[in-house]
């Protein structure tokens, strides 16, 4: 914090700006972490906010599980050296500027994963075998949400970017409330915006009005009692919401039209949509709307092309196999294209990391008080490999051994359990396939 002022009225963490649109639709705007919400050292919320199970005002950790489908090209992703001086590989180049905020993991086993993408995604998310039409257990994000999410407006959020219609529930969903209960990711930015802000007024979508008009009185009343630093922070927050509105309404109408299964799945401005979705999730986390979220950037067994990368000769899934559909008879050219695709995946993850890092919270940042876990259902893409899996873990610098590449002898279940119990304090009794705490990733 720029300054700690001990003699001031402390605000509750649960401050919302409320109002009604012209159509009498209710609007709810969350307030970001303000200096006035914390104790004099900036280490805990001050106004009796019960954000942890202990109810002591401590800043509760958030959890985001981030997924990309179709595996990776190991030669371009996994560093050869372990430790703090690992080399930044081509796929990891977007995190170079953030290397002190990220832990690179390799060597994990996706126990119960199989030769197919749905089987491996089921094992990745639930640590159980695929049975019938879906997992036999809830996904790990939902298990964690039931432990730490009840004090938030939304117990959890499911967010997506890829709008592919190929496949069934097993290709389209990463989050499950239980058997036969998929929780589809929200892939349309204006719908996610409406859910977070409670707006159902077509006016803002038509760019005729802003939802901020509805809460101006509330905002002015709050601003009267704020010190200068908090007033500036509030104004910046409201300006960022207006920027989000403009970004969403400027998207072309066709971005929300989902292609039929027999059609090609060329991405329509998806990098732009991904950043909007990341901004909306960052808003939800920073304002206390939720503590748990899943983010599905691309589908399991995704069939999209990537015109903004210049790769349209074949589909994403084709590049992972030497099946003659992708350029290059030896598969090497396909591997290089898969490298470019995976680098874009990491670029979007890095954008989200940077966004959370830019939001102050007490004497730290929202990133410091979050743990982000980036995973795939396979390691090497071509053979559908489920051993030697990779993960990127970011945030929570007080708990994680960041800035390193660490090769782990363990399972995805071990990672889930270690994050849940040793970082999020979710107090899970266990996770299928987990047998130990990964002390190597903790400080």
Stretches where the chain sits below pLDDT 70 are 1-9, 47-56, 200-208, 256-268, 322-324, 327-330
Q: What is the pLDDT of residue 75?
A: 95
8 A C-beta contact, residue 17 and residue 52: no
Q: What is the pLDDT of residue 353?
A: 98
Distance between CA 171 and CA 122 in Å, rounded? 10
Distance between CA 418 and CA 212 in Å, rounded? 41
* Phi and psi at residue 53, to the nearest 5°: -65, -25
* Phi and psi at residue 4, to the nearest 5°: -110, 120
61-198+260-441 CATH choice from 3.40.720, 2.20.28, 3.40.50, 3.30.70: 3.40.720
Q: What is the pLDDT of residue 49?
A: 47
Q: What is the pLDDT of residue 64?
A: 98
8 A C-beta contact, residue 155 and residue 145: yes
Distance between CA 12 and CA 39 in Å, rounded? 11
385 Cα distance to chain centroid: 24
Q: What is the pLDDT of residue 34?
A: 94
Q: What is the pLDDT of residue 257?
A: 67
Q: What is the pLDDT of residue 203?
A: 65
Q: Which two tokens stand for residue 160?
A: 């997506």
Q: What is the pLDDT of residue 8?
A: 59
Every domain of the chain with CATH number 3.40.720 lies at 61-198+260-441
List CB contacts of 190: < 8 A, sequence separation 6 or more. Answer: 205, 248, 249, 256
pLDDT digits (tens, 9 = 90+) for 76-99: 999 999 999 999 999 999 999 999
List CB contacts of 162: < 8 A, sequence separation 6 or more. Answer: 187, 267, 270, 296, 297, 298, 299, 302, 304
Q: What is the pLDDT of residue 51?
A: 46
Q: What is the pLDDT of residue 2?
A: 44
8 A C-beta contact, residue 405 and residue 96: no
């Amino acid at each position: 914090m720029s300054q700690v002022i001990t003699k001031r009225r402390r605000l509750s963490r649960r401050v919302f700006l409320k109002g009604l649109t012209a159509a009498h639709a209710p609007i709810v705007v969350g307030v970001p972490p303000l200096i006035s919400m914390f104790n004099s050292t900036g280490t805990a919320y001050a106004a009796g906010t019960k954000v942890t199970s202990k109810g002591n005002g401590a800043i509760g950790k958030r959890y985001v599980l981030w997924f990309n489908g179709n595996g990776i090209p190991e030669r371009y992703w996994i560093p050869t050296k372990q430790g703090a001086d690992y080399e930044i590989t081509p796929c990891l180049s977007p995190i170079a500027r953030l290397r002190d905020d990220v832990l690179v993991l390799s060597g994990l086993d996706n126990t119960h994963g199989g030769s197919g993408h749905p089987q491996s995604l089921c094992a990745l998310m639930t640590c159980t075998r695929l049975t019938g039409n879906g997992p036999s257990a809830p996904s790990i994000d939902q298990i964690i949400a039931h432990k730490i999410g009840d004090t938030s407006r939304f117990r959890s959020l499911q967010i997506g970017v890829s709008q592919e219609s190929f496949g069934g529930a097993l290709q389209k969903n990463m989050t499950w409330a239980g058997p036969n209960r998929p929780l589809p990711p929200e892939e349309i930015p204006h719908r996610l915006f409406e859910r977070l802000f409670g707006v159902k007024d077509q006016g803002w979508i038509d760019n005729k009005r802003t939802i901020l008009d509805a809460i101006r009185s509330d905002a002015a009343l709050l601003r009267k009692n704020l010190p200068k630093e908090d007033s500036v922070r509030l104004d910046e927050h409201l300006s960022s919401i207006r920027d989000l509105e403009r970004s969403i309404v400027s998207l072309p109408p066709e971005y929300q039209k989902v292609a039929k299964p027999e059609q090609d799945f060329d991405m329509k401005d998806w990098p732009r949509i991904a950043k909007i979705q990341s901004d909306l999730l960052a808003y939800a986390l920073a304002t206390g709307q939720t503590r748990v979220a899943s983010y599905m950037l691309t589908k399991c067994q995704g069939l999209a092309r990537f015109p903004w990368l210049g790769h349209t000769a074949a589909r994403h899934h084709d590049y992972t196999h030497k099946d003659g559909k992708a350029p290059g008879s030896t598969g090497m050219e396909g591997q290089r294209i898969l490298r470019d695709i995976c680098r874009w995946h990491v670029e979007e993850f890095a954008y989200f990391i940077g966004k959370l890092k830019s939001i102050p919270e007490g004497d730290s940042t929202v990133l410091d008080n979050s743990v982000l876990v980036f995973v795939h259902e396979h390691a090497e893409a071509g053979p559908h490999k489920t051993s030697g899996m990779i993960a990127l873990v970011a945030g929570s610098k007080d708990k994680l051994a960041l800035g390193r590449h660490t090769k782990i002898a363990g399972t995805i279940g071990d990672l889930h359990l270690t994050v849940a119990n040793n970082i999020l304090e979710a107090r899970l009794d266990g996770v299928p396939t987990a047998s130990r705490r990964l002390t190597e990733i903790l400080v």
